[in-house]
Copies of this chain bind each other. A is one copy, B any other.
Amino acid sequence: MDVELQLAVENLLARYVHALDEGQLEQWTEFFIESSIYRITTAENHARGLPLSIIYADSRAMLRDRVTALRHANVYEAQRYRHTVSATLVERDGPNTARAVSHFHVLRIMHTGETILFASGRYLDRIRLNGAGGQPQFEEKIVVCDSRRFDTLLAIPL
C-alpha cells in the first residue's frame, strides 16, 4: 500500500470540496490541468456507456467560463453546499499519474435553513501527481450522479 499516494489524493479531494463549499469557484478551476476533462453524468448513462453529459468541459478555460456565468447569474450566494467524500480507492497509473474512485454526496442548505440531499454518486478521477507547482491536479474528473433528477443549471459544480 502506497501510504503517501493515498493521502496525497485524499488531500487533493479535501481541498477540492473545501474550495467548492466555501464558494471559491475561481480557485476551484486551479485543481484542473489546462486540457482537463470535466464531466457530470448519471449512473444510468455511465453504465450504458452513453456519452451523454449533464455538464461537459474539455479545458480549464471552459470551467472558467462556467464560473463567470455562475457569478453573473448571482444565485450562488443564496445557498450553501456541503460535500462529503469517502471510500477513496487509489491506484497508480503511471510514473506521474494515478486513478481514484470515491463516494461523495452533497447537501444543499437554503437561505431559509432547510437542508436537502442535493446529489450523491462517485468521482472517477485521473490525477497528474506533479501538476502546477508540484501539486496534484485533475487530468479528468467524471462525476457520476446516482440520481437522474437534479438541477445543475444554476448550481455549483460537483
Chain A positions near chain B (C-beta within 8 angstroms): 1, 3-4, 6-8, 11, 13-15, 17-18, 21, 43, 80, 82-89, 101, 103, 105, 107, 109, 112-115, 117, 120-122, 146-150
Q: A84 to B84, Cβ gap below 8 A? A: yes
Q: How many copies does the complex hold?
A: 3
B residues in contact with A148, CB < 8 Å: 113
Contact across chains for B3 and A89 when beta carbons are under 8 A apart: no
State A68–B140 Cα separation when bound (angstroms).
37
The answer to whether A14 and B107 have CB atoms under 8 Å apart is no
**Cβ contact of A114, chosen from B8, B122, B149, cutoff 8 A:** B149
Taking a contact as CB atoms under 8 Å apart, the answer to whether A86 and B84 are in contact is yes
